Amino acid sequence: MENQEKDYSHIKGWGIDADPKNDPTYPMRKRSNDEHNGYGWKRPPQQPIDIEVLHSNERPNVTAVFGTSAPPSGLSGMIRRYAFRYGEGSFAHWLPLLMADRVNVVEGILDDFRRGRVPNIFAERGGKAEWKHNPKGMVQKVAIGVVVVTAVVALLSRRSRSSES
Amino acid sequence: MLAMSYRGPQRVRIDQKPMPEILHPQDAIVRVTRSCICGSDLHLYNGNVPDTRVGETFGHEFIGVVEEIGPDVHKLKVGDQVIVPFNIACGECTFCKQELYGNCHESNPQATAVGGIFGYSHIAGGYNGGQAEYVRVPYANVGPTVIPDWMHPDDAVLLTDVVPTGYQAAEMGGIQKGDTVAVFGAGPVGIMAARSAWLFGAGRVIVFDQEEYRLDFVRKFAQCEAYNFKSIEDPVVFMKKTTDSLGADVCIDAVGAEAAGSAMQTITGRKLLLQAGSSTALQWAINSAKKGGIVSIVGIYGPTGNLVPIGNVVNKGLTIRANQASVKRLLPRLIEHIRNGVLSPRQLITHHIPLEEISDAYRIFSDKLDNCIKPVLIPPSARI
Ligand SMILES: NC(=O)c1ccc[n+]([C@@H]2O[C@H](COP(=O)([O-])OP(=O)(O)OC[C@H]3O[C@@H](n4cnc5c(N)ncnc54)[C@H](O)[C@@H]3O)[C@@H](O)[C@H]2O)c1
Ligand SMILES: [Zn+2]
Ligand SMILES: [Zn+2]
């Protein structure tokens, strides 16, 4: 309010969407309470479910359309199936899914090898761009990596030596 | 066709993939002419979003040409150039009827908490996205909008997400004339939020980020104040001091789960994944708002939970408004603003990169290299 006297003519479009009744604004504005009638709307036709689609246990069905990018498979798929037994508010749902994602990464590498392809992890991580635009940062990262690996190796070898004695 | 393929945290590459097919009578196939990488993709890229599966193609911001339509598609024809909103929405469910196109109940089987989104992992329906040469677009009568012939394609591609999201961030703030608006984040979304705040009559707009080049850009583009939080001891105290100790009327979180600025949040949220990302920016937004003020959240967080000062929300009587942008709802107004020269979003685009160089594009955008604000990917078939 205090600034109403100010001149905003240098800002193109100042105030053109101002609306004193802009409250409650989106997402409440078009509230209809139709949902009181429940899940009763006329659903779009169902996309044929000819792959495995995991669906949240907070809904009764698979939505009318769905993505087909990567149906669950392998060990990660088994973990995902387990996760979907739990609701969306539960850690028992999300933590296994995160774990499945990590297992899936290993599956992806094995799959590459099976197809006779050695994944170029340096290139996949955008190494070329990093080297071009941030060589200092990259050297630093590599150096930290080397230090950490050396420290871990040193620690492990000392431990195995002391357990031998 | 060529398509981006997710291989694991911070590992993406281009692969040959089968062409998408019509799987539902309301589907269309779109040949992509431009797609973007978004701050939202970084949450996937970093491996922080559960149920992100290896082999998925990301990309929820794309425009293109309709190549094929299903038998029930009557609002589009082959050859149309279209803006494809990032939300997949049926147009028939009770939520779509309320124009909550980001909350459709018939597009995402895996989670009820969000509607379907192109190329956004199985948490958002498992759809392949637009960082590819071709995409399957479900519910083609609802979302896709024909690009006006006067519109520059770089403006059009930003209408799929960034412009509506920034605009909606300001809209949800319920800004009243003269309000002080604080925007956290000077990425593409924060920049558009700051610019849009004026359209709603803000009296003062203040942006925070840590990237000097982005602060320089937003100062000019959005004609606002902009500060580097790295050179401020405590952004909340700073906000109080600059508002006569009262706080901002409206605070906008345009950062989300990748937020920097607090070691504790970064370690627990981004490194150990003990929370669904780091919520530093949201924490600052809540604490910088005046009593009875409004916090508008468009920054994205994972599904588990975050450390936020909810006690302060109660004690200050704050209203929190948040959502995925409802792109389709806002397109008519935003197209008008671009036509009238009120908004010129394509100035945000700093990089045009061949789709084949996707791995480098992600690195550049993710690490904020080469003064990147918004990168656009161009598939080989769109370069001839
Ligand atoms: N709700 C929606 O519909 C929607 C749509 C698009 C994007 N988003 C979300 O909006 C957010 C921003 O997207 P973007 O494309 O602009 O991303 P971006 O990564 O380009 O920008 C984020 C900016 O925030 C800055 N930042 C980091 N920590 C900060 C802090 N504590 N305070 C202030 N600034 C900080 C970064 O330096 C960066 O410039 C993301 O979370 C994205 O997922 C939401
Ligand atoms: Zn986006
Ligand atoms: Zn719907």
Tens digit of pLDDT for each residue in B2-31? 999 999 999 999 999 999 999 999 999 999
Last residue of a domain, one of B270, B304, B322: B322
Residue B168's nearest CA partner among B338, B308, B334, B300 is B334
Residue B128's nearest CA partner among B82, B60, B76, B62 is B60
Name the band, by pLDDT with cuts 50, 70 and 90, for residue A21.
Answer: confident
Q: Is residue B189 pLDDT above 70, yes or no?
A: yes
Give me the pLDDT at residue B228, please: 98
Please list the alpha-helical segments (H only) found in B289-326.
Answer: 310-316
The CATH code of the domain that includes B288 is: 3.40.50.720
Enclosing H/E stretch for B253: strand B248-253
Q: Is residue A3 pLDDT above 80, yes or no?
A: no
Give me the pLDDT at residue B384, please: 66
Looking at the fold, whether B201 and B315 belong to one and the same domain comes out as: yes
Last residue of a domain, one of B302, B322, B342: B322
Ligand 1 touching residue B20 (CB < 6 A): no
Nearest CA to ligand 1 atom 15: B39
**8 A C-beta contact, residue A8 and residue B198:** yes
- Do residue B106 and residue A63 have CB atoms under 8 angstroms apart? yes
- Do residue A27 and residue B100 have CB atoms under 8 angstroms apart? yes
Where in chain A are the domains? 20-119, 126-165
Using an 8 Å CB-CB cutoff, list chain B residues near A90.
Answer: none
Separation between Cα atoms, residue B20 and residue B29, nearest integer Å = 7
Looking at the fold, whether B182 and B155 belong to one and the same domain comes out as: no
Q: What's the gap between Cα A109 and its chain centre?
A: 19
Q: Is residue A94 pLDDT above 70, yes or no?
A: yes
Please list the alpha-helical segments (H only) found in chain B.
Answer: 39-45, 94-97, 153-158, 162-172, 188-199, 212-221, 235-241, 263-265, 280-288, 310-316, 327-339, 358-366
Q: Is residue A165 pLDDT above 70, yes or no?
A: no
B227 CA distance to ligand 2 centroid (A)? 24
Ligand 1 touching residue B41 (CB < 6 A): no
Tell me how many domains chain B contains. 2
**8 A C-beta contact, residue A22 and residue B174:** yes
Q: In angstroms, what CA-CA distances link B36 with A96, B1, B129, B193, B352? A: 31, 18, 11, 18, 9
The CATH code of the domain that includes B123 is: 3.90.180.10
Residue A73's nearest CA partner among A92, A52, A98, A47 is A52
Measured in angstroms, the CA of A86 and the nearest CA of chain B are apart by 12
Roughly what angle, to the nearest 10 degrees, separates helices B162-172 and B188-199?
Answer: 50
- Report pLDDT digits (tens) over B69-90: 999 999 999 999 999 999 999 9
Name the band, by pLDDT with cuts 50, 70 and 90, for residue A29.
Answer: confident
Looking at the fold, whether B214 and B193 belong to one and the same domain comes out as: yes
**8 A C-beta contact, residue B20 and residue B360:** no
Using an 8 Å CB-CB cutoff, list chain B residues near A43.
Answer: 92-93, 106
Last residue of a domain, one of B283, B305, B322: B322
Looking at the fold, whether B246 and B262 belong to one and the same domain comes out as: yes
Residue B206's nearest CA partner among B183, B229, B172 is B183
The pair of structure tokens assigned to B76 is 């589009």
Please list the alpha-helical segments (H only) found in B292-378.
Answer: 310-316, 327-339, 358-366
Looking at the fold, whether B362 and B297 belong to one and the same domain comes out as: no
The pair of structure tokens assigned to B338 is 């671009």
Roughly what angle, to the nearest 10 degrees, separates helices B162-172 and B327-339?
Answer: 100
Give me the pLDDT at residue A1, please: 46
Q: In angstroms, what CA-CA distances link A72 with A15, A107, B288? A: 50, 12, 44
The pair of structure tokens assigned to A136 is 């200092």
Domain that holds residue B219: 162-322
Looking at the fold, whether B297 and B350 belong to one and the same domain comes out as: no
Separation between Cα atoms, residue B240 and residue B243, nearest integer Å = 5
Task: State whether residue B332 sits within 8 Å of chain A by CB.
Answer: no
Please list the alpha-helical segments (H only) found in B25-159.
Answer: 39-45, 94-97, 153-158
Neighbouring C-alpha atoms within 13 Å toward the C-beta of B326: 25
pTM higher than the cut 0.80: yes
Query: Best mutation site among A2, A6, A8, A17 for testing chain B: the one with the most B CBs within 10 Å?
Result: A17
Tell the burial category of B260 from Cβ atoms under 10 Å away from its Cβ (0-12, 13-18, 19+).
middle
Residues with Cβ–ion distance below 5 A, ligand 3: B 90, 93, 96, 104, 106
Q: What is the mean pLDDT of residues A98-123?
A: 97
Tell the burial category of B354 from Cβ atoms under 10 Å away from its Cβ (0-12, 13-18, 19+).
middle
